[in-house]
Amino acid sequence: MGVLTLNNRVAKIRQKMAENNIDALLVTHRPNVFYLSGFSGTSGFLLLTAEDALLYTDFRYLQQAGEQAPGFEVVRVNSTADFSAAVQLISQKGLKNIALEEAHISLREFHQFKNSYHGDGRIVPLFNFIEVMRAVKEEEEITKIATAARIADEAFQKILPLLKPGMSELDLAGELEYRLRKSGSEKLPFEIIVASGERSALPHGTAGSRIIKEGEPVTVDFGAVYEGYCSDMTRTFLFGAPSAKQQEIYNMVLQGQEMALSSIKPGQKASAADTLVRNFFQQLGFGMYFGHGLGHGVGLEVHELPTLSPKGEGLLEEAMVFTLEPGIYIEGWGGIRIEDLVVLRSNGVQNLTNTGKRFVIE
């Protein structure tokens, strides 16, 4: 990403800091560090003030930090759990309101920060301060997410000829991971979910040694990563002829997703799309089996804002990227989930997932 883009992001965060009377912001969450600085190393934190932009990291990442984060002064520390150098600058400048990312700093690190700081300033806990800004994507980010989605589509198409009854869930996951890598994924954004038969009632049932049989649902949930940005998709299928109940529930889940795909517009409450689909399932007598939200934001993390659930807050905005993944899960029977990744445009959603939604694989 360009220096201008990073500088614009930092400028926006500084404006938010000023609006919230924050003199110094310590950024410890790795995706937020990358978002603001471009530094992708696994060890480092940022300190932002109205005038300063510093990146603290250890010896292993000094060269990388200098190359990736040209807008930041790189400061070497022995440990990125040691905030004494940052605290020293805060004290020297007499900064009073010091903000920490409360969800992304350990209790040990918090105590180390407090023990290092001896000024009379106030520690301000922040939640989703940067994440709210990250929820609305730049076009460059959308392009990278769309590329990650294309990689996932391509990998799934490559394994379709290999799928057959008698293979294990682990076999399927292994074949898919290999082809995700071959298609260009930098890593897995999360452990591939493969859950078959009764296990498909587990929304996050990771692959096991179970052998996949004909006539039972198989749920596969996976994604790719391209230049740090994630994708996420789910398909449920079976081998052979589905039972009447299997086909009924599959059609219901698909219809619920199509309702969401066709109805979501900018300006809606994040909870509204979930309510639409949830009420539809409830009217058909299956509401109790839809146990999670309709969707979640995707970007540098595979789960981020916005949250499309009964507890989802705020309004959906143009250029937000999120999943639409209704599902029905019946213990002892199995589950059906269909998940697409979409970007919200002025006239509705643009689907970034192009894999078809065939229930039966022959």
Strand 53-57 relative to strand 73-76, pairing? parallel
What was the pLDDT predicted at 117? 80
User: For residues 228 and 41, what is the distance between their CA atoms, to the nearest angstrom?
Assistant: 11
User: Residue for token digits 């730049």?
Assistant: 138
pLDDT band for position 112 (50/70/90)?
A: confident
Statement: residue 362 has pLDDT above 80: no
Query: Are the CB atoms for 24 and 129 separated by under 8 Å?
Result: no
Whether a cis peptide bond, with omega within 30° of 0, leads into 306 is yes
Candidates 155, 156, 182, 170; CA nearest to 208 is: 170
Across 213-233, average pLDDT: 98
**What is the rounded CA–CA span in Å between residue 85 and residue 46?**
12
Q: How far is CA 161 from the centre of its chain?
A: 29
User: For the range 189-193, what are the long-range contacts, defined as Cβ-Cβ under 8 Å and sequence gap of 24 or more?
Assistant: 189/223, 189/224, 189/225, 189/230, 189/231, 189/232, 189/302, 190/223, 190/232, 190/302, 192/220, 192/221, 192/222, 193/219, 193/220, 193/221, 193/222, 193/234
In whole angstroms, how far apart are CA 196 and each of 46, 199, 319, 332?
44, 5, 35, 12
- C-beta of residue 295 within 8 angstroms of C-beta of residue 277: no
Is 90 exceeded by the pLDDT of residue 8?
Answer: yes
What average pLDDT score do residues 201-214 get?
Answer: 96
Residue 344 CA to residue 351 CA, distance in Å, equals 9
User: Would you state the pLDDT for residue 116?
Assistant: 81
Confidence grade of residue 150 (pLDDT, cut at 50, 70, 90): very high
Mean pLDDT of the chain: 95
Q: What is the pLDDT of residues 298-325, one digit of tens each?
A: 999 999 999 999 999 899 999 999 999 9
Does residue 290 surpass a pLDDT of 90? yes
Mean pLDDT score, 167-193: 98
The predicted structure's pLDDT at residue 119: 74
Q: Write the pLDDT tens digit of every residue in 237-272.
A: 999 999 999 999 999 999 999 999 999 999 999 999
CATH numbers and ranges of domains, the chain: 3-133 (3.40.350.10), 136-361 (3.90.230.10)
pLDDT digits (tens, 9 = 90+) for 131-144: 999 999 999 999 99
Confidence of residue 162 (pLDDT cuts 50, 70, 90): very high
Strand partners, 98: 24, 123
Among 189, 206, 214, which Cα is nearest to 323's? 189
Measured on CA atoms in the order 284, 239, 222, 355, is the torsion positive or negative?
negative
